[in-house]
Amino acid sequence: MQSLARHRDLIASHSSVAWHYQETPGDHWDYTSTQPMILADISIDGAPRKVILHAPKNGFFFVIDRTNGKFISAKNFVDVNWATGYDANGRPVEVPAARGDAAYDSIPGPYGAHNWHPMSFNPQTGLVYLPAQNVPLNLIPEKKFKQNAATPGKFGGATGWNVGFVLNGEPPKSLPFGRLVAWDPVKQKEAWRVEYPSPWNGGTLTTAGNLVFQGTADGRFVAYDATTGKTLWETPTGTGVVAAASTYMLDGVQYVSIAVGWGGVYGMAQRATERQSPGTVYTFALNGKAPLPEFVKYQTEGLLQGVKYDPKDVPEGTALYVAACATCHGVPGVDKGGNVRNLGYVPAEEIANLKNIVFKGPFRDKGMPDFTGKLTEADVVKIQAFIQGTADAIRPKK
């Protein structure tokens, strides 16, 4: 979500820049344009055009002449509220409130209407198959922004999130969704769609056999009719899928392979399946008979109990947890957890010895930050109180 790449331009280059087109001038919402691009030859107004097809995070589908960078068209493929459209010169017509000082439900938000998950183009149908989504997020501009400030109560404030906004300081009002959109780049309109239970679904593959393959966040690998969107076949995968499939021929047999594993920034703390599995490559062929591997249920039993704490520490612990822990671990016992465990379902000894984990701890090689200098031992005691206090608060009463 917070991309290290701050570049917002499409650039065609050999030894020097030949042209560029800027999709989101003065980007205010983390709408990176690093999503996959497709080179296609299509007919527009009866004339053949060599184009780039692009659906970045900002929610608009762009058709750009790839020979000279000239803007051809842009149309939103999901609902957006930061701009009403693009003018004839390829400039967005912005909604003034989207750059205001007040809290703003950004649609799409920084997770993007389309993130890095690849889309695909089928020249036979003339359609692009696009993983679209909404992850609700409310943005409040930080008027007194300070880089790397470990501010209690600021979402991600102790983890280096320098977005210049307070995230979800007010509850967002938009609804989450995930969907597969078949998009006509000539008509700039949707041809069909499939709704999913969750955002963060996998990339797409389309074939000359009039098929579209996609893995889903809720643990399926599905084949659709590329023309109509009708489901033709599906299989469980045990865990959510974010990658795109590939297809190849070997000794006259066509295979379709998909790397299955749940992750990415959204997938750290959220998921849409009750099963999990290690990263696995599945390969399918007609008349294949190999059995699927065993799927393991996520651990969401054994709600944390037994960690001693002072209830008076819970309010301050809440603010510290929001700043240091919530971005990856979610709310203890409330969120399900993703590829990072929810702290409401870890062994009690891990929470009781939390300082040995957050300060130069054993999970640094797996991506966990070292909070040395950002938290104190007294802070950790208060975080322990919030974690165990929350688990106690939601525990079913006998």
**DSSP SS3 for 47:** strand
Compute φ and ψ for 141, nearest 5 degrees.
-55, 135
Percentages of the chain per state (helix, strand, coil), in multiples of 5: 15, 30, 55
Compute φ and ψ for 315, nearest 5 degrees.
-60, -50
Q: Which of 27, 30, 379, 392 is the catalytic position? A: 30
- The two tokens of residue 149 are 């400030």
DSSP conformation letters of 64-103: EETTT--EEEEEESS--SSEEEE-TTS-EEE-GGGGSSS-
What is the C-alpha separation between 171 and 168, in angstroms, rounded?
6
Respond yes or no: is residue 30 known to be catalytic.
yes
**DSSP SS3 for 181:** strand
Let me know: does 72 contact 64? Beta carbons within 8 Å: yes
| β-pair partners for 215 | 221
**Going by C-beta distance under 8 Å and a sequence separation of 6 or more, which residues neighbour residue 73?**
62, 63, 86, 188
Let me know: does 135 contact 360? Beta carbons within 8 Å: no
- The two tokens of residue 91 are 């400039």
- The two tokens of residue 242 are 């974010």
What is the C-alpha separation between 161 and 327, in angstroms, rounded?
10
What is the C-alpha separation between 391 and 304, in angstroms, rounded?
6
What is the C-alpha separation between 99 and 22, in angstroms, rounded?
18
Provide the annotated active-site residues: 30
